[in-house]
Amino acid sequence: MKKVSWPAKSPFIPGILFGLFAVATLVMPTSFIVMAPGPANDVTALYDGKRIVSISGQKPYPSDTHLYMTTVSAYGNPDTGASGGTVASALFDSSARVVPVRALYASEETNDAVSSRDHEMMKSSQETAAAVAMERAGLDVKMTLEITGSTNKNAQVNKGDIISAVQTPDMDKPQNIASFSQLSSALEKVKPGTGIKVTVIRDGKETVVPVTTVPRQPEFDGSVRPGSVMGVFITVTKLELPVQVSYLIDGIGGPSAGNIFSLALYDQLTPGSLGGKNSIAGTGAISWDGSIQPIGGINQKLAGANEAGVKNFLAPAANCSETRGHVPTGMNVWAVRTIDDSIQAAEAIANGDTSKLVPCSAVAAPKMRMGE
């Protein structure tokens, strides 16, 4: 029988296989999303000769203030997580955050669906920011406030009712309501449990219905804003702005630039430089009543603003507890709850006296609710 000699094993083969495995691990997608600092964009700057945020129908007032919207660069999406190499690199980057895909997105969500939703949220944010800025600048803004539901058993409203007027006990006659801000203002001095009269348009006819107001929802720190609310769900439609607004924003989604958009528009609609010759960055979603809501990626946005050289940052008060230990050296992070807070902060920065502003470091952490 002929003896067969097998070739000796090459010492390089295990190393090659390990190398191939390592490369595959680095390039293959994972089940994680990496959130890293994105660019800070000056919305007062010109792009191809046009303002990134601009108005038409009224001449804008000149300003020396630079306002920066901040962003997060996300690696990975609901369909495909970030590569192993990107995740590994992020683990050694204090400004990045690694999050499981399913912690951000439900299993049934697709990248196309999320992109579409983010686009719609950006569009809604731009409309809300414009309306709020114009009202704060003293311009007349009109919108339709449609009731889409109720959690108040003492509000005799129907789905589809259009709010047209409100009369509180201290009013001699009904006050016409043309915007969400007007409705909020009308109720800010009304104690919860107060009976008011609400004029609604129902089936094409005006009807007066009784409503007993309810308390506002507590803030993140347990505090409750003065006044009360109707306890109904309201959808804003048929927005009419006295000045047209254009945004040269592409490839960025979500609602978090509302605060800065509103400031930029307010600055163009009012005389002088809102923040003097300073650069101010910020973030925060904006509601129709001008309140500033929390957002995601606050620490990545702080890092992005720092890379742009900005030293004053306006952050939603509800995000402040997340910033501890992440504020770049030399940066002032101011807490804001409303657009009025943001305007006052910019004015204080312009005047060089920020002693009355609230730093994020002084804001209490969110109160835990039962079951959390």
Residue 115 a catalytic site member: no
Out of 125, 184, 256, 262, pick the active-site residue.
256
List the CATH number of the domain containing 67.
3.30.230
**Is residue 28's pLDDT more than 70?**
no
Residue 301 a catalytic site member: yes
**Is residue 49's pLDDT more than 90?**
no
Phi-psi region of 330 (alpha: psi -120 to 50; beta: other; left: phi over 0): left
pLDDT for 134: 98
The pTM of this model reads: 0.87
If 0-12 CB within 10 Å is exposed, 13-18 middle and 19+ buried, where does residue 257 land? Answer: buried
CA distance 51 to 33: 33
Q: Do 313 and 342 have their domain in common?
A: yes
Q: Do 263 and 350 have their domain in common?
A: yes
Tokens of 353: 């006296």
If 0-12 CB within 10 Å is exposed, 13-18 middle and 19+ buried, where does residue 244 land? Answer: exposed
Q: Do 113 and 181 have their domain in common?
A: no
pLDDT for 370: 43
Q: Do 133 and 246 have their domain in common?
A: yes
Q: Do 314 and 324 have their domain in common?
A: yes
Q: Do 247 and 356 have their domain in common?
A: yes
Q: Do 123 and 51 have their domain in common?
A: yes
pLDDT per position as a tens digit, 89-102:
878 888 888 888 88
Tokens of 139: 């311009």
Q: Do 303 and 186 have their domain in common?
A: no
Last residue of a domain, one of 195, 220, 240: 240
Distances (CA, A) of 359 to 87, 125, 202, 300, 332: 33, 25, 47, 18, 7
How many structural domains comprise the chain?
A: 2
Q: Do 134 and 272 have their domain in common?
A: yes
CA distance 21 to 244: 56
158-196 b/e (C-beta count within 10 Å ≥ 16 → b) = eeebbbbbbbbeeeeebeebbbbbbbbbbbeebeeebeb
Give me the helices (H) in the chain, please.
12-27, 84-90, 101-104, 111-136, 180-187, 258-269, 298-307, 339-351
Indicate whether 98 belongs to any domain.
yes
pLDDT for 238: 96
CA angle 271, 129, 163 (to 5 degrees): 115
**Is residue 165's pLDDT more than 70?**
yes
Element (H, E) at 196: strand 195-202
Phi-psi region of 159 (alpha: psi -120 to 50; beta: other; left: phi over 0): beta
CA dihedral 107→110→116→122, nearest 10 degrees, is: 50
Out of 63, 150, 301, 342, pick the active-site residue.
301
Q: For the chain, how are helix, strand and coil distributed in percent, rounded to 5?
A: 30, 25, 45
Indicate whether 11 belongs to any domain.
no
Last residue of a domain, one of 211, 240, 269: 240
Strand residue runs (E) in 128-172: 142-150, 162-167
Distances (CA, A) of 139 to 242, 324, 347: 7, 39, 20
For every residue of 274-285, DSSP letters joined together read TTTT-EEEE--E
Distances (CA, A) of 372 to 173, 321, 366: 45, 17, 12
Percent with pLDDT over 90 in the chain:
70
pLDDT for 22: 53
Q: Do 55 and 164 have their domain in common?
A: no
For every residue of 289-317, DSSP letters joined together read TSBEEP-S-HHHHHHHHHHTT--EEEEEG
pLDDT per position as a tens digit, 111-143:
899 889 999 999 999 999 999 999 999 999 999
pLDDT per position as a tens digit, 311-344:
999 999 999 999 999 999 999 999 999 999 999 9
Q: Do 311 and 296 have their domain in common?
A: yes
Give the confidence band of 107 by pLDDT, cuts at 50, 70, 90: confident
Residue carrying the six token digits 């009712």: 161
Contact at 8 Å (CB) between 99 and 33?
yes
Range of the domain at 268: 38-82+94-138+242-362
CB atoms within 10 A of CB 74: 18
Give the confidence band of 371 by pLDDT, cuts at 50, 70, 90: very low
Q: Do 170 and 194 have their domain in common?
A: yes
Last residue of a domain, one of 180, 214, 240: 240
